[in-house]
Amino acid sequence: MADKKAKVIIVALLPVLVLGWLAFRAFENSAAYYYTISEVLVQEMRDQKLRIKGKLVKDSVNYDPSIPLLEFSLADQDSQVDAVYAGVLPDNFHHADEVIVEGKFNSRGQFTVSKLMLQCPSKYEGED
């Protein structure tokens, strides 16, 4: 009986270990660390995947639709960071309240955006 129980536990433990191993392996290249803009400017984080949230600097947006390439700046209270995004300008970009970007810094100190997310004042419900 005890033998059987041990067997069951081993069989149940195996997939748990597999899951843990898969999660551990996947973590490295899919984790993005949340930093504020002032923080990323102080520290040098070239190879780290980051997630930054900031307000869009309104007159910084420059979009070349033929490539397409979108350049813009994000700011918090006292600092600012330049970002480039090789993708189509989202419909509601100019009116986004806050922008969340995920990506890495390139050698020129620009933030290369791999994923662009917008938080709009009216995302789902009209109230804010």
What contacts 69, CB < 8 A, 6 or more positions away? 63, 84, 85, 86
Contact with another protein (CB under 8 A): which of 16, 46, 58, 78? 16
Binding string, residues 22-51; x marks residues near another protein by CB under 8 A:
xx-xxx-xxxxxx----------------x
71-100 residues in contact with another protein (CB under 8 A) are 88-89, 91-92, 94-95, 100
Q: Which is nearer to another protein, 106 or 123 (CB)?
A: 123
Q: What is the amino acid identity at position 54?
A: G
Residue 64 three-state SS: strand
Check binding of 107 to another protein (CB under 8 A).
no
Minimum Å gap between C-beta 66 and another protein is 5
Q: Which is nearer to another protein, 19 or 109 (CB)?
A: 19
Q: 69-75 and 80-85: which strand pairing? A: antiparallel
